[in-house]
Amino acid sequence: MSIAALADYTKAQWKAAADKVMKNAPPGLFIDGKHVDALEGGRIASVNPANGRVVAEVAAGSARDVDVAVASALRAFRSGCWSRMAPRDRMAVMYRWAALIEVHAEELAVMETLDMGKPIADVISADLPAVIETIQFMAECIDKIEGSVTNTEWEVMHCVLREPLGVVGAISPWNYPLLMATWKIAPALAAGNTVVLKPAEQSPQSVLKLAELFVEAGGPPGVLNVVNGLGEVAGQALALHNDVAKITFTGSTEVGKLMLQYAGQSNMKKVSLECGGKSPQIFMEDLEDMDRAVEAAYNGIYGNMGEVCNAGSRILVHESIHAEFVDRFVRAGQDAYVPGDPMDPATNMGPLVTHKDQQRVLSMIEEGSREGAQLVFGGSVPAGLESGAYVSPTLFTGVNNQMSIARQEIFGPVASVLMFKNIDEAIAIANDTIYGLAAGIWTRDLNRAMRLVREVQAGTIWVNCFDEGDMTQPFGGYKQSGQARDKCMESLLSYTQSKSAWFRLSGQ
Ligand code: NAD
């Protein structure tokens, strides 16, 4: 079944697919090419946040399981079955893997939606195509990794080789379970490393299938392993492991900082961090098309329930267009996202990932009102959906940048509008944050755009658009949003290390 064909599925077809998946939940760990149980019998429950029901009891790995998985990955690495495979053969495995993901798209999509509440239509139209594209892009790059020969004295030949690192430990979040994991494991594998992945405990299922498909595509056992489990147990054990050469992490800034400590406490492994954000979108008074800008503003914060690292959560609007901007935002944005059953292909907004996250977001909304921001719409649990972890799309105006809703990453559908007087103030507000993941700029003036691109501190700046991109685009943060770059060639190279080979030639 192609992904395109799934776009025509009805709600009843998705429900039937979900029943099938729930009856065949995988155990929870995938080590050495096989699904296995946890050695100490630990369990985590995957709960469907749309109704609070348990979807699957999945094995939760301990430090012992991590040891076994790392040993398997190390054996596979040292054997050369993957790292020394001819690049084009490795490429062929990855292409087959991408093709199998398309074949199994129905099952993968259902797992994603049951685990974390993402609208199934989004998984089909956005997440899965992006997963496939990531694997294909990294596969295409495999034989484009080059070393160099440097210009040295006549009696010397000096080559710089690029080699894989060894065992890569990947720790991923739940907001795009398959895609965030793939942004790590595809470049790591393409570069010839072996991998142990620790997915988020809220979304344990789909990545197990991903690993199984890798082996079905011809990936040698032990090259890609998955250990589900709690962050502070399995995640910590992986990040502290002395046989892990690099830890590549996507998640909160708080836990990202722990990764640096774990590396210091163990073997000084390399650490790549993709962390949180509080991204500004700056709407200048001369923007060209207010309707398009407003649409980008509400899509940028309500898409994926606001559970997006680069969500445009701070909407900075010039004072001269503020009233009209807010008026249009209310008219077009209030009902653009309607919370509902994520298994219904007509739904564009599901629940938040857990009831705990729902309570956290609702209490941040209360805090916003307490601090003096004006709640224009939303801010509550939508009627009729009380059993799920839902929060209605919410808009605050009258926000200033010292309020907690402007400073903390809410990770929910909560938009805050801040007003500014001039470009200097816009830049000052945009940069007054610990984060620096992304920003949007809306203006017709090229000089203004260039100044904002240069002065706003963020890893990605979108000009007259938001949240666009392709695989050539480095994606990552400035400041405490992290120091890694996903997606691009630079990402692939970050899973390699250079080796200098200095040949002393005898004179002739
Ligand atoms: P999180 O930091 O709570 O968890 C991320 C991962 O770390 C999970 O697998 C978790 O089990 C693990 N973990 C937690 N505690 C750990 C510990 N002590 N040791 C080792 N591992 C541990 O984040 P989350 O709630 O899963 O994801 C949301 C966060 O991820 C947000 O802050 C979001 O901005 C960020 N994110 C960033 C990007 C990016 O590219 N910059 C992309 C997606 C999400």
* pLDDT confidence band for 22 (50 / 70 / 90): confident
Average pLDDT, the chain: 97
DSSP 486: B
Closest by Cα among 497, 411, 469 to 183: 469
Taking only the tens place, the pLDDT of each residue in 403-457 is 999 999 999 999 999 999 999 999 999 999 999 999 999 999 999 999 999 999 9
Whose alpha carbon is nearest atom 28 of ligand 1? 251
The confidence score (pLDDT) of residue 146 equals 95
274 among known catalytic residues: yes
How far is residue 161's CA from residue 227's CA, in Å, rounded to a whole number? 32
Closest by Cα among 206, 287, 285, 236 to 26: 206
Closest atom of ligand 1 to 437 CA is 41
CA of 191 to the centre of ligand 1 (A): 24
What per-residue string of b and e applies to 397-414 under the rule 16 or more CB within 10 Å gives b? bbbebebebbebbbbbbb
Q: Which of 175, 185, 197 to mutate to test the pocket of ligand 1 (most atoms within 8 A of CB)?
A: 175
Closest atom of ligand 1 to 276 CA is 34
pLDDT(390) > 80: yes
CA of 116 to the centre of ligand 1 (A): 14
How far is residue 418's CA from residue 373's CA, in Å, rounded to a whole number? 10
Domains of the chain: 3-275 (3.40.605.10), 280-476 (3.40.309.10)
How far is residue 180's CA from residue 177's CA, in Å, rounded to a whole number? 6
Q: Which of 309, 353, 356, 360 to mutate to test the pocket of ligand 1 (most atoms within 8 A of CB)?
A: 309
CA of 252 to the centre of ligand 1 (A): 4
* Residue 12 CB neighbour total at 10 angstroms: 10
241's tokens: 């492991």
List 212, 274, 307, 409, catalytic entry: 274
CA of 273 to the centre of ligand 1 (A): 10
Taking only the tens place, the pLDDT of each residue in 307-359 is 999 999 999 999 999 999 999 999 999 999 999 999 999 999 999 999 999 99
pLDDT(27) > 90: no
Closest atom of ligand 1 to 199 CA is 9
Taking only the tens place, the pLDDT of each residue in 285-303 is 999 999 999 999 999 999 9
Number of H-type helices and E-type strands within the chain? 18, 19
Handedness of CA 158, 164, 167, 173 (dihedral sign): positive
Whose alpha carbon is nearest atom 35 of ligand 1? 251
Q: Which of 272, 275, 354 to mutate to test the pocket of ligand 1 (most atoms within 8 A of CB)?
A: 275
DSSP 381: P
List 307, 309, 409, 488, catalytic entry: 309
Q: How many CA atoms lie within 13 A of 50 on its CB side?
A: 19
How far is residue 449's CA from residue 462's CA, in Å, rounded to a whole number? 10
**Conformational region of residue 218, where left means phi above 0, alpha means psi within -120 to 50, and beta covers everything else:** left
Kindly list the distances between the CA atom of residue 414 and the CA atoms of 279, 311, 347, 409, 432, in Å, as whole numbers in the listed order: 13, 10, 19, 10, 19
DSSP string covering 134-163:
HHHHHHHHGGG---EE----TTEEEEEEEE
The confidence score (pLDDT) of residue 493 equals 97
Give residue ranges with CB within 6 A of ligand 1: 171-175, 180, 198, 200-201, 231-232, 235-236, 239, 250-252, 255, 258, 274-277, 309, 409, 411, 437, 477, 481-482
| CB 213, CB 104: distance < 8 Å | yes
CA of 274 to the centre of ligand 1 (A): 9
Closest atom of ligand 1 to 253 CA is 32
| CB 303, CB 279: distance < 8 Å | no
How far is residue 37's CA from residue 274's CA, in Å, rounded to a whole number? 30
The confidence score (pLDDT) of residue 26 equals 78
How far is residue 57's CA from residue 40's CA, in Å, rounded to a whole number? 15
CA of 146 to the centre of ligand 1 (A): 33
309 among known catalytic residues: yes
How far is residue 254's CA from residue 411's CA, in Å, rounded to a whole number? 14
